[in-house]
Structure 1
C-alpha cells in the first residue's frame, strides 16, 4: 500500500477512493479499522470513519487507530480526508485529529487544502468558496450538526488547535510545485494552501511527494498517485440490476432540490423525527411500504432548516439525529434481506447509518455517478451496490441518473 486515507465520514471516503481509482490506483474502502491485513496488491486503502460528529476524544482515538493500521500495511503517505466544506465545530474535530496524527507521524507541518474545483469548492486567500459564494453564504450555515458561519479557514482551524496556522497564497501555488515546496519549508503547524483550479491541485500533489502527512478534500488526491507511478484509468463495472430504493437524510439545498425532482417521478415517504421517536413509524413498516411500490421509491427526512431546528428544539439535537439514523440503519438491513440490490443514499451521516446497518466491511469502488460520487459494491455480499452521496453533490436529477448508471456496465 502506497497511500493510506483516514476519512471522517463514509461519503467522503468513497469520494476520495474514486479520485484515487480514476488516477490509476487499485483502491479498497474499509468500513472502520479492519481487524485483518489488507490485500498486499492494493495501491491505496481508505478507512471510512464516522468521526466528523463524534465526541473529540472518540474521533481522535478512532483516527489514530486507523493511522496505525494503515502504516502497518506499508502506507508511505497518510491523508486525513475532510469534507470540501471543512465543516466542523470550534471544538473540532479537524484540529484535534490533525494534531494527534501529526504527533504520531512525527511531523511539525501539515499541508491542508479542502478545495474541490469540480464541485465548486475553492480556497482563495485562505477563504473557502462554494462556487461564487463564501462558505457562510452557501447554505452550510444551516447545517444541522456542523454549521459553518466563517469562511476563513485560518480562523476556523485556529479555534480548534494551539498549533500555528500558516497560509500559502494562490500566487505562490500558481508558480508551481517548487514554489509550493519552498513556501511550505518555511512554515510550521497547519498550513492552509489556496487552490482554485485542478491544475493547482496537481501542482500541490507534486509538491507533496515527500510529505508523510497531508489533509484535504478528495481533490487533494488528484496529483498524488502519479508520484507513485500510477496512470489514469476507469474502474471496471459489470452493472447490477434489481429492486432499488433511494434514502435521503441530507438537509442541504442540493439534496432538497434532488428530493423535489425525484418526488415527481416516484412514490415517496417522508419521515419526521417526532414520528420516529413516538413510534408511529418503524423500519419494518417503511420497508413494507417500499417493497409494495413499483419502481424505486424514495424514503426521506430532508427537511427545510426551520423544520430541522424545530425538531432539535423539541427533542434535542443528538436525540433527533440518532433516532433517524437508527431508523435508516435498520431500514437498510431489512431492504437488503428482502432482495433490494441498489440503494442510493444522500447525506454523510445517513450513509454511515446505512453502511453500518448493512454490516458491510469493505466496499469495492466502481465508476463515477457524479463528481465525487462513485458506485460502490458491498464486497462478499449478494449483489448489492450503493451510491453514497455527500449532501451538496450531484445535479437535480442525480437520483434517477444514479439508479440507471448502477445497472449499466462500463
Structure 2
C-alpha cells in the first residue's frame, strides 16, 4: 500500500484536512503546520467555496469543533456531514484531531465513536493514531500515555489533572484498553522497538496487521527519532488516503519527517507579536496550571474577577451578573489594566467541587450548567469588545474557547505569531470589521508557563509547561 513520492518535494495542493474536537486543540494543530511554512486556515464552521477562495495557497484546512464535550448521539448527527465535506476536498490525510491527553469517555467525547464515523470516508486499509507529542511533554510508550507537568512525568491515570478531570477522568493509561471501551473496532499497536528496528521504513509492520477490517493502529512516540519514524510510516503508507484520529502529534510527526527529507523549512519559525496596552482574558479552566497562571496575573497588575456561578446560572440574576462583570472589565481597560474574568481557580475550588450542587440549585443539568458558564464568559467578552477597542484577547479552557470564539462572529483563524507551544497568537477573519484582525490566543488548561497572561500582554513566546 506504499505510495511513491516525488524525490524533491511534497505533492501540490492540500496535504491535510482535519476536524478538531475542541477549539484550543484546533489552533494547536494549525500552529504546527504554519510554523513549518505550510499555510493553514482554521474555520469555525464548515467553509463554503467562497470562504475557501479567501485562502488560495492553503496546504492544510481545519474546522474547529466542540465534539470533545458532546455525546455519541450528537456525534452521530453532526460528524458524518463534516467528514464527508472534508473528504470531498480529497486530502491524502484526513484527521479527527483529539487532545494530547486523550480526553474522552464512552458517554462524552468518544474518540471511538468518531473513528467509527470517520474511517469509511477515506479508502485506506488502516487508521493510524499518533498521540505522543514531545514538544507538548506528551509521550506514548508501549501504548501507555504519559504527560509531564512542571518537569515531572506522570502516567496519565496518575496525572494530577487528568486523573481528576471533572468530565472525562482518565483511569487507564493504556490507550488500547481505553479506546476499546468506546469502539469494537480492532485496535493494534506499533511500538517504539518496531519503529527503531526498521520495520516502519518498509511498511512490514503494517502489512502484518492487514485484515478484512480497517484497524486502528496506535504508534508510539517517545522522542524525536520515534516522532520522525511515525511520520514516515503514516506518510509513506497512506495509500489512496487514510483517516486518523490523532493529537497534534500527527502534525509534529509529519513535519518532522518532511523536514528530514528536505521538503519543508528546516527550522520552525513564527514571528513575535510585541506588546499591546491591555488584553482581555476569560477562563473557564479548572486546571491547576491555569490556577497558578491566574494567581500570577492577579499579583502582576491584572484585574482578576471571579464570576458568580450561582448568579449567572439563575435566570433572574443572570443579566445583573453579566452586567457587573462587563462593568468591571470596562473600568479595568479604562484604567490601563487587563481584565481577567474566571470561573474557578483549580480543581479544589468550591466552584468545581460544588458544581453539581450549584447546577441542581439552578434547576439544570450539569452539562447544561457547564455550557451556560462558557456562554456567560463568551457574552462578557463580546460586550467588552463592543464597548472598548481591545485588540488582543486570551481564552483559557477548551470548552470556553469554543463558546467565546463562536460568539465573536469569527469565520476563520490563521496563525500570526508564536506564543506558548500549543497556543499560538491567531488572527481572526470576519466580515464584521470590529472583529476582523482581532488577535486571539486559545489555550487548553494544561498549556503555558506561569506568566502566560502576562506574556500574552507583552507578546513574547512562552515556554512549554
Of 192, 195, 208, the residue aligned with 1:186 is 208
Distance across 2 between alignment mates of 1:185 and 1:272: 57
Distance across 2 between alignment mates of 1:348 and 1:360: 17
Provide closer, same or farther for how the CA distance between residues 167 and 87 of structure 1 changes in structure 2, counting only shifts above 3 A. same
Of 163, 170, 174, the residue aligned with 1:148 is 170
State how 1:147-296 maps to structure 2 within 5 Å: 147-176=169-198, 178-179=200-201, 181-187=203-209, 188-209=214-235, 210-211=237-238, 212-225=242-255, 226=258, 229-231=263-265, 232=267, 234-236=269-271, 241-265=276-300, 266-278=302-314, 279=317, 281-293=320-332, 294-296=336-338
Check conservation: 2:46, 2:63, Cα contact below 8 A.
Answer: yes
Distance across 2 between alignment mates of 1:388 and 1:180: 39
Check conservation: 2:378, 2:404, Cα contact below 8 A.
Answer: yes
Segments of 5+ residues of structure 1 without an aligned counterpart are none
**1:384 aligns to what?**
438
Distance across 2 between alignment mates of 1:383 and 1:23: 22
Provide closer, same or farther for how the CA distance between residues 199 and 336 of structure 1 changes in structure 2, counting only shifts above 3 A. farther
**1:405 aligns to what?**
459
The structure having more radius of gyration, on CA atoms, is 2
**Following TM superposition, by how much is the alpha carbon of 1:236 offset from its aligned partner in structure 2, in angstroms?**
4.8
**Following TM superposition, by how much is the alpha carbon of 1:264 offset from its aligned partner in structure 2, in angstroms?**
0.9
**Structure 2 length as normaliser, TM-score?**
0.82
**Following TM superposition, by how much is the alpha carbon of 1:176 offset from its aligned partner in structure 2, in angstroms?**
4.8
Distance across 2 between alignment mates of 1:215 and 1:319: 27
**Following TM superposition, by how much is the alpha carbon of 1:242 offset from its aligned partner in structure 2, in angstroms?**
4.9
Worse overlay, 95-104 or 67-76 = 67-76
**2:154 aligns to what?**
133
**Following TM superposition, by how much is the alpha carbon of 1:237 offset from its aligned partner in structure 2, in angstroms?**
6.3
Does residue 332 (structure 1) correspond to residue 381 (structure 2)? The answer is yes
Worse overlay, 48-57 or 169-178 = 169-178
Distance across 1 between alignment mates of 2:155 and 2:441: 28
Partner deviation per Cα, 1:107-165 (whole Å, 9 max, x = no partner)? 34211121121221101111111122111221112222222121111111000001111
**Structure 1 length as normaliser, TM-score?**
0.93
Of 344, 356, 380, the residue aligned with 1:312 is 356
**1:90 aligns to what?**
106
**Following TM superposition, by how much is the alpha carbon of 1:239 offset from its aligned partner in structure 2, in angstroms?**
5.5
Check conservation: 1:284, 1:334, Cα contact below 8 A.
Answer: no
Question: What RMSD over aligned residues (CA atoms) do the two structures have, in Å?
Answer: 2.3
Check conservation: 2:186, 2:215, Cα contact below 8 A.
Answer: yes
Q: How many residues align?
A: 408
Say which SS state the counterpart of residue 67 (structure 2) adopts: coil
Say which SS state the counterpart of residue 369 (structure 1) adopts: strand
**Following TM superposition, by how much is the alpha carbon of 1:49 offset from its aligned partner in structure 2, in angstroms?**
0.6
